[in-house]
Structure 1
Amino acid sequence: MTETQGAWPPGLMVSAPASGTGKTTVMLGLLRALSDDGVCVQPFKSGPDYIDPAFHRAASGRASFNLETWAMNQALFSAIAHHAKGADLCLAEGSMGLFDGVATRGLAGFGSSAETAKAMGWPVILVLDVSGQAQSAAASALGFATYDPDLRVAGVILNRVASPRHERLTRAGMDRAGVPVLGVLPRRGDLTLPERHLGLIQAVEHPDLDAAIAGYAEFLRAHVDLDAIRAAARGGAAPVEGRLPAPPAQRIALAQDAAFSFTYPHILAGWRDAGAEILPFSPLADEPPDPSADLVWLPGGYPELHAGRLAAATTFLTGLRTHAATKPVHGECGGYMALGAGLIDKQGTRHEMACLLGLVTSYETRKFHLGYRRAVLAAPMPGHAPGAVLRGHEFHYCSIVDQPDAPLANVADADGTEVPETGSCRGHVTGTFFHLIAEETT
């Protein structure tokens, strides 16, 4: 398993006052522009987002990893950060607003991007949407720069600037506040990524992702000071020793396609580092899991968009059921739905799933589920014994129509309030609505 040693490379956190300010576009453009200049950039995502790391990898050529302080203890956090070894620069993308987190402290903090930046010793680049304001934007920037005296804001990138006059006025405010301007991005309506109900579409679904990222890089190169950004990067202290999660089996058949794609990168890295064999297969291509696998793992994703194809994938379903008769199967979120008896799509059509669990879910009436989860296992699941305490994150829009099986765990949100999405277990089959991040250790 991965152990940490040495110091981290210098880095920066790309954050913002709120979601929707353009930080993902800035992040992807910076990753590609710096990589094109020969800089080896290690990307990270602050927070539990499932989608952005794949975009980071497409932009930089290096796997991106999630770092966050609610579900991860310091040892795991450090083990993940160790993937920056060999890089010239770390660049992390924040989640939501810079200081946004949960109300109740987790294993190492409240889950904010500011905490991640401080833990790594990274200054912050603040992406400010200045549309509809000018000098007033400096008051926001100054507030963010002084809110936490232990956090350094290296400067701002002004986004959606309407005209040269708008730029002059906004810069005048930043000069008065003493906040460096690292870039000014003119307003452009085409600098957006396609979205659906869980946020951005998956990287593999983008019709021409490489061209889009190349366009972002060209735009950033023309309007930001890349040398100043590199010069602003700082490194933290030497990391503590830590290890990535151990694999739940030696040979793991892992569903991987457009319907099943969400597994945290550090989970898979831990499995591989420990010598586990990961055997990918595609349910959408009607491929069965490898018969020699010790475990079948169905990750989250978008099975609701492919429910008809999954219901018709008889080779996949037969292979899955054969495996489940004698060996463990686990599903997370979308994978959990696929293990159930039925999935009702947004048009109200029911599609029969694997029927290994009694779960029936529906997208006909959307219900939003979002947040950290702390689960105390009532039954075993692959890699974890009853009584184990797991930390994870849940994000979906489906409603439970029926959940007749025994609950897998007692599940609560970040503040300790119990939630009804307990997961299920039947025979060798288990499933959860949350995506596993880590097991609590004492």
Structure 2
Amino acid sequence: MTARAIIIGAPRSGSGKTSVTIGLLRAFARRGVKVRGIKTGPDYIDPGFHTLAARSDGLNLDSWAMEPDLLRHLFAQQSQDAELLLIESAMGLFDGIVVPDHRTGSAADLARLFSIPVLLVLDVSGQSQTAAAIAHGFAHYDPAVKMSAVVLNRAGSERHRTLCTDAIERIGLPVAGCVMRDPSLVLPERHLGLVQASEHPEIDAHIERLADAMEKAIDLDALYSAAMPVDLSPGSILAAIAPPGQRIALAQDAAFTFLYPHLHRHWHEAGAEIMPFSPLSDEGPDPSCDVCWLPGGYPELHAGRIASANGFKTALRRFSETKPVHGECGGYMVLGETLEDADGVTHDMTGLLSHSTSFAQRKMNLGYRQATIATDGALGRQGDVLRGHEFHYARVTDPGHDEPFAQIADGQGKPLGASGGRRGFVTGTFFHAIAKG
């Protein structure tokens, strides 16, 4: 079976790409099409929605963080036994960092690498024929990135739809459909973007409504035909992050949710056994494991429960005396001395590292990062370089006195200084690792 693929792109964030993608994934799945979703860039929330909508695992592909050979390997894996791949762009289609080697992090990089056409989603609220000028710019900006069709989103009336459609089709781009303005189709958001799929109280019903809307608005047969068969050139996993241990104790509940799908899959396929536990249920890591991983999430929303989870904290402290413990972002916050929640209430955390963090005194940190590991540990050896990103509003209010976990630079290589902390077998950082550098 040869899968077909199409990128769902837009001029900017907020254009409706996620709602269109989720609705299309479920609409095709309801037809019996073996469809899978992919999110470009480091967004770790949308793949959860893709997974539920398509009823198959989602994936991130990031052209900045992942070498081309790793992209090829992961893309080929996601294409196995699939008929259709819907690839949702992050931000605007061409948005990324300025680097010379087409590793900008943009969805356009994947369009070039895999010769995948683009379905352009245009939010036409507040405009009509001007939408054709935007579509014309997308069609001619980069000859290596092909626009296959346009979907109008948030049209206010049939007349509005006709004005936009006629203008766009006059420049030679087909309009595959038009989604009318409907506030009920909007997914809820909070400080790190969308509310996660697992937290949405009626997520499946909402996905069904999105699928109904897409089936009504978009010509699914034309869209399937516009998707192109994919070229599955051989890839490599050499740049993949190796399992941090043979048996991995993984914190997994409403406070600890952000582990990239490609990491979980690679660790499992490499022979590691992943043993989930719930700190919010006052569970600690299985003592038989040889490493404990605390991923990112929303510990600031559950700080009181974590503070009172004495069984979890005692078990983690015992584990850390002889075995590695690593925390990323939210996990890093929990490894510190205290965490101040949004209401200004300070909660005692595990104290395995000496820093303190606050969500009340928040400041957004967002961007690609290159991390050079300071000493041998769960994520690699001293001097190894990892690529990943930071995305958090919490900030360190007391840096403590631990040695740094890594020295970090931004996506263009500009040094940013020390990151995180390490003490004994314990390491932590706001940095989310994606792949080897």
TM range (shorter): over 0.9
One of 246, 250, 255 as aligned partner of 1:259: 255
**1:352 partner amino acid:** D
One of 424, 429, 434 as aligned partner of 1:427: 424
Alignment partner, residue 349 of structure 2: 353
In structure 2, relative to structure 1, the CA distance for the partners of 1:422 and 1:103 (3 Å cut) is: same
Alignment partner, residue 84 of structure 1: 79
In structure 2, relative to structure 1, the CA distance for the partners of 1:295 and 1:8 (3 Å cut) is: farther
Alignment partner, residue 439 of structure 1: 436
1:226 lines up with 2:223 in the alignment: no
TM-fit CA distance, 1:113: 0.8
| Contact 1:70-1:105 within 8 A present in 2 as well | no
| Contact 1:12-1:125 within 8 A present in 2 as well | yes
TM-fit CA distance, 1:80: 1.1
2:113 partner SS:
helix
Q: Distance in 2 between matches of 1:54 and 1:421?
A: 32
1:407 partner SS:
coil
What is the CA deviation profile of residues 183-230 of structure 1, one whole-angstrom value per residue up to 9, with x for unaligned ones? 111111111111110000111110100000000000100110000000
Q: Distance in 2 between matches of 1:129 and 1:325?
A: 54
CA RMSD, 1 decimal: 1.2
Q: Distance in 2 between matches of 1:395 and 1:349?
A: 23
| Contact 1:421-1:433 within 8 A present in 2 as well | no
TM-fit CA distance, 1:359: 1.4
Alignment partner, residue 409 of structure 1: 406
1:377 lines up with 2:385 in the alignment: no
1:355 partner SS:
coil
Alignment partner, residue 297 of structure 2: 301
One of 389, 398, 405 as aligned partner of 2:394: 398
In structure 2, relative to structure 1, the CA distance for the partners of 1:307 and 1:273 (3 Å cut) is: same
Q: Distance in 1 between matches of 2:125 and 2:186?
A: 16
One of 7, 10, 13 as aligned partner of 1:13: 7
Deviates more, 1:171-180 or 1:424-433: 171-180
Alignment partner, residue 3 of structure 1: none
One of 48, 73, 87 as aligned partner of 2:67: 73
2:256 partner SS:
coil
| Contact 2:71-2:235 within 8 A present in 1 as well | no
One of 132, 157, 165 as aligned partner of 1:163: 157
What is the CA deviation profile of residues 375-401 of structure 1, one whole-angstrom value per residue up to 9, with x for unaligned ones? 111112204000000101110001111
| Contact 2:406-2:418 within 8 A present in 1 as well | no
1:183 lines up with 2:177 in the alignment: yes
Q: Distance in 1 between matches of 2:80 and 2:167?
A: 39
Q: Would you say how many aligned residue pairs link Structure 1 and Structure 2?
A: 433
In structure 2, relative to structure 1, the CA distance for the partners of 1:105 and 1:393 (3 Å cut) is: farther
Deviates more, 1:412-421 or 1:375-384: 412-421
Alignment partner, residue 29 of structure 2: 35
One of 275, 279, 294 as aligned partner of 1:283: 279
| Contact 2:2-2:83 within 8 A present in 1 as well | no
| Contact 1:379-1:425 within 8 A present in 2 as well | no
Identical-residue share of aligned pairs (%): 51
| Contact 1:45-1:92 within 8 A present in 2 as well | yes
Q: Distance in 1 between matches of 2:3 and 2:219?
A: 20
Q: How does 1:137-156 map to 2 (within 5 A)?
A: 137-156=131-150
Q: Distance in 2 between matches of 1:241 and 1:135?
A: 43
| Contact 1:8-1:239 within 8 A present in 2 as well | no
Q: Distance in 2 between matches of 1:273 and 1:71?
A: 21
Q: Distance in 2 between matches of 1:84 and 1:16?
A: 23
One of 356, 381, 388 as aligned partner of 2:384: 388
**2:411 partner amino acid:** A
Q: Distance in 2 between matches of 1:182 and 1:315?
A: 56
What is the CA deviation profile of residues 330-384 of structure 1, one whole-angstrom value per residue up to 9, with x for unaligned ones? 0000001100111111111111100000110111121000011001111122040
| Contact 1:70-1:111 within 8 A present in 2 as well | yes
TM-fit CA distance, 1:421: 5.7
In structure 2, relative to structure 1, the CA distance for the partners of 1:105 and 1:302 (3 Å cut) is: farther
**2:293 partner amino acid:** W
Q: Distance in 2 between matches of 1:281 and 1:337?
A: 18
2:242 partner SS:
coil
TM-fit CA distance, 1:241: 2.7
TM-fit CA distance, 1:83: 2.2
Unpaired runs of at least 5, structure 1: 1-6
TM-fit CA distance, 1:104: 2.7
TM-fit CA distance, 1:120: 2.2
What is the CA deviation profile of residues 251-297 of structure 1, one whole-angstrom value per residue up to 9, with x for unaligned ones? 00000111000011111111000110000001011111111110000
| Contact 2:36-2:50 within 8 A present in 1 as well | no
| Contact 1:33-1:221 within 8 A present in 2 as well | yes
**2:414 partner amino acid:** T
TM-fit CA distance, 1:415: 2.0
**1:415 partner amino acid:** Q
**2:424 partner amino acid:** G
| Contact 2:299-2:334 within 8 A present in 1 as well | yes
Q: Distance in 2 between matches of 1:235 and 1:68?
A: 21
TM-score (norm 1): 0.96
1:419 partner SS:
strand
One of 97, 100, 103 as aligned partner of 1:102: 97
Unpaired runs of at least 5, structure 2: none
1:288 partner SS:
coil
Q: How does 1:319-334 map to 2 (within 5 A)?
A: 319-334=315-330
| Contact 2:241-2:379 within 8 A present in 1 as well | no
| Contact 1:8-1:238 within 8 A present in 2 as well | no
Alignment partner, residue 267 of structure 2: 271
Deviates more, 1:374-383 or 1:296-305: 374-383
